Structure 1
């Protein structure tokens, strides 16, 4: 059965180690350092709080909230090497939600000296979108610990799924637009995802041309796994680093063939019109 494995950042495997009544009432997200913004549409005063779930035949731990990736701010530490003009003494800033041509970027890691930006890296977070509803699974967990807060949802047989295809295609299309901007200004854009989403991308899209991470590539991809090992508490660990450029993202989407066709059409038309009358000459 699909289950919630992290609620408001706490592992549901640690049933007896936390005051769940207080956790549910406070609705606090430690990653955002404020109330969880994932709310019920029918009851906006209630934050759902689901960070990750067990899903599928193998009960894989799947992160369903992008802010879960902010654990210990490790994803930012793992991007420090991409600040190629950062110098000792400069301040580091994490700036959320910055608009760029092609959309907005979730975070910028910025090197600052005397209130002037010296370098920056754009960082996009992407986790899997769910279909259906996670609410009954959340409520079943609360019922299993005899929570007094449970009032509805435990009897529902509704479940949730993963919108693999839409999640993958949407992020690739967005990256295709955004990475061109970063490439033109000689900066890096980093996509942070979970290992299971990377595996899906590699299986369903053209990914064989991606390199092991190279500093010279504008598009960087960092994948993380969610482990609990011997402990019942889950934690993130960097798993793989890959890289490419804007042309590489186009190939992932299968756009290269279309671009070649357009180029061939233009060349064909030009060649058919070239003659003595079109020859450029200075009289």
Structure 2
């Protein structure tokens, strides 16, 4: 059985898919752009592995895979508490604040003036080893030509559960203090297996409910097969504050950013290209 679950968004179990065209186009279906996962030895070759089979689970390894239908952003609208009908919604990537970049800001604006915003962080699994040989074996099974030397490789890949979680939770703590200071929300988007490891590896025993007033929200998504496609569905929501994250990690740090400074940065990015688009199928 192939250890590659999805190749450029196509379910690898469905052999009717046109994997040859996907390999040639190298297009990410979730961004509409060329895949950013590339071989270090050949940057022109995009890897295209959205998710992999690890033990009995399909594990997402590319954060762009979480962008399916923009559903994760729709599921955050309830914490955009000052948004009103008639306001425009913008999705602004990669905004620098103390503690590092925030993956996305979902902004409610009126006449290009910020009325409310939330930060959204995406975290998928970091792998150890290399997925490349498994990718090549899958393509070979599909009858596509690959380098024979890749098929001989015995290099495995694994999941770096604890380091992935520790890294993102430390970053969330640093950034959450800024959002808490501004009375705004920061949402972490993760897959269900990562959420389950988070609860077992760190001290999340006191964090079980979700409250709108909490500055830090965690949304966990299940990833299951329906109609020959792997799809995301919201599974669990919890919330806490920066102190709650600190208790889980035993950390203490301060990173604050004044509201007007952040609003100035966001308003400069309120462009048509950053409008949040939702596509409906007829």
TM-score (structure 1 length as normaliser): 0.87
SS class of match (2:38): coil
Q: Map 1:268-279 onto structure 2 (within 5 A).
A: none
Aligned to 1:64: 61
Q: Which digits, 9 at most, give the CA deviation of each residue in 1:217-266, with x for residues without a partner?
A: 0000000011004x32100000000000000000110337x9xxxxxxxx
Instruction: State whether structure 2 residue 190 is matched by structure 1 residue 193.
Output: yes
SS class of match (1:240): strand
Aligned to 2:54: 55
Aligned to 2:216: 219
Aligned to 2:108: 111
Q: Map 1:61-140 onto structure 2 (within 5 A).
A: 61-140=58-137
SS class of match (1:87): coil
- Distance across 2 between alignment mates of 1:211 and 1:187: 21
Aligned to 1:27: 26
Asked if the contact 1:136–1:156 (Cα under 8 Å) also holds between the matched residues in 2, the reply is yes
- Distance across 2 between alignment mates of 1:72 and 1:159: 32
- Distance across 1 between alignment mates of 2:65 and 2:200: 25
- Distance across 2 between alignment mates of 1:152 and 1:120: 50
Aligned to 1:237: 233
User: How many residues of Structure 1 are paired with residues of Structure 2 in the alignment?
Assistant: 253
CA displacement at 1:165 relative to structure 2: 1.3
TM-score (structure 2 length as normaliser): 0.87
CA displacement at 1:151 relative to structure 2: 5.2
Give the structure with higher Rg (CA). 1
- Distance across 1 between alignment mates of 2:149 and 2:206: 49
Identify the match of residue 160 of structure 2 among 163, 167, 175.
163
- Distance across 1 between alignment mates of 2:14 and 2:115: 44
Aligned to 2:258: none
CA displacement at 1:2 relative to structure 2: 6.8
The answer for unaligned runs of 5 or more in structure 2 is 254-282
CA 1:125–1:40: 2 relative to 1, 3 Å: same
Instruction: State whether structure 2 residue 228 is matched by structure 1 residue 208.
Output: no
SS class of match (2:211): coil
SS class of match (2:234): strand
Q: Which digits, 9 at most, give the CA deviation of each residue in 1:171-229, with x for residues without a partner?
A: 01101100000000000000000000010010010001114211000000000011004
